[in-house]
Chain A
Amino acid sequence: MYICIVMSNSKLYKGSLNTIILKLLNENDKMYGYEITQKVKELTKGELKITEGALYPALHKLEAEGLLDVEVAKVDNRLRKYYKLTENGTKETANKLEELAEYIKTMQALVNPKLA
C-alpha cells in the first residue's frame, strides 16, 4: 500500500517530510530531488512515497531557511541541482531527529502502554 505525502490520509507523515529530507542528506552528503523520492521509496519498501508536488516546495523552504545549500553539475546532457546540508542544517537535523524520537516515544506510550 502506498502512502503519499500529499494525500489526506497521510497527515501523520506530512509533518515529518522536512525531517526525512534532512536525515537523508545527513547520510548521503548530496542528493538531487528525484534521487530523494526514489531513496525514500526504496528504504520504506514502497510504504512511503514522497510526491513531487510536496518535495520541491519543502526543499526550497529548507534552502531559504539556510539549512540547505545547492550545487549544480552537468550530468548527461542536462543540468542537475544537488542539495546538501549547511552547518546549520546539520545541527537542525540532530534537533529534528530528537524531536521525532520524542514524538514516537510519546505516541508509543499512548498507543501501546505496555511497550513504553
Chain B
Amino acid sequence: MKLTQPQIQDLYAFTRKHFVEHYDLQTELVDHLANDIEAMWQDEPKLSFTDARDSAFKKFGIFGFMEAIEQKAKAMNKRYRSYLWKELKKWFEIPQILATIVLFLIFYVSFSSKIAGVLSAVFYGIIAAWTIYKNVRLNRQFIRRRKISNKKWMLEELIFKQAGITSLIVLSQVHHTLVVSDEFSMNIYAIIGLSVVYTILLLLNYISFELIPNKAEELLNETYPEFSL
C-alpha cells in the first residue's frame, strides 16, 4: 500500500511541526518516513497512518530531527563559505589581481597621508553604510522570493539574509581604527595591515552583496537538484 498525496502533505506538515524549516531537508525526511510507513503496512496493513508515522519518527531517537537539522546547517554554511572563498581567490589571479593591487594602493596611500584619520573614518563610514543598505535590500529580495516560491531553502537564506554577517563582524572589530594616531602613520606594518583588512573587506562585500546574489539561481540549482522541479 502506497501513501496518498494528502498523507505526503501531512508528513511535510509533520516535519515543519518538528522544526524542520527548509524544504530540501523536509523532502528527504518525508521520503524516509513514507518508506518506513509503507514497510510497516506490509506487515501490519491495519495500522493507522498516524500510528505508523509516529512509530517511524520514534526511530530518529530522543532528539528527533534536531541532529539532522544541525548537521545540515553546518554543511550548508560550509558550502556557502566555499563559494565565498572560491570567488575571493579569483581576485588574486590575473587579471583581477590588478584591481586588488589598485585597491590596496588606494588604501595604503590614504593611510600614509597626513589626513589618514579622516580618510579612515570616511572609508569605514562608506563600507558600513553599504553593508547596511545591501542587507536591507537583500532581505527584501529574499521576502519577495519566498512569496513567489513558498519554499524555504537554507542556501537561499544564507545568500540573501546572512550576506552581511562577515562584514558586520569585521566592521565591529576594526572600529578602533577610526582613531588613527600619529604613531600609526609612522608604522609601515600597521598601515599595510589596515590596508589589507580594508581591501579584503571591500572584496568580500562585493562578492557577498553582488556576485553571489546575482548567481543565486545557478548556485541553488547546483546545490538542490529539486530546486527547479
Residues of B near A32 (CB, < 8 A) are 31
Residues of B near A80 (CB, < 8 A) are 31
- Which stretch from A19-27, A58-66, A85-93, A107-115 is at the chain B interface? A58-66
Q: Which residue of A lies closest to B76 (CB)?
A: A64
Count class of interface residues, chain A: 20 to 34
A79 near B27 with CB under 8 A, answer: yes
User: In terms of DSSP, what is the predominant structure of the interface of chain B?
Assistant: helix
Residues of B near A33 (CB, < 8 A) are 28, 31-32
Q: Compute how far the CA of A63 lies from the CA of B27 in the bound complex, rounded to whole angstroms.
A: 16
**Contacts A57-B68, A77-B3, A78-B30; A72 near B74 (Cβ below 8 A):** no
Q: Which residue of B lies closest to A79 (CB)?
A: B27
Residues of B near A54 (CB, < 8 A) are 67
- Which stretch from B56-64, B94-102, B110-118 is at the chain A interface? B56-64
- B217 CB–A CB distance under 8 Å: no
Residues 48-72 of chain A, each 1 if its beta carbon lies under 8 Å from chain B, else 0 = 0001111011101101100000111
A70 near B31 with CB under 8 A, answer: no
Partner of B229, one of A51, A75, A79: A79
Q: Which residue of A lies closest to B225 (CB)?
A: A72
The 6 closest A-B pairs by CB, nearest first: A64-B75, A57-B71, A53-B61, A34-B35, A56-B68, A72-B226
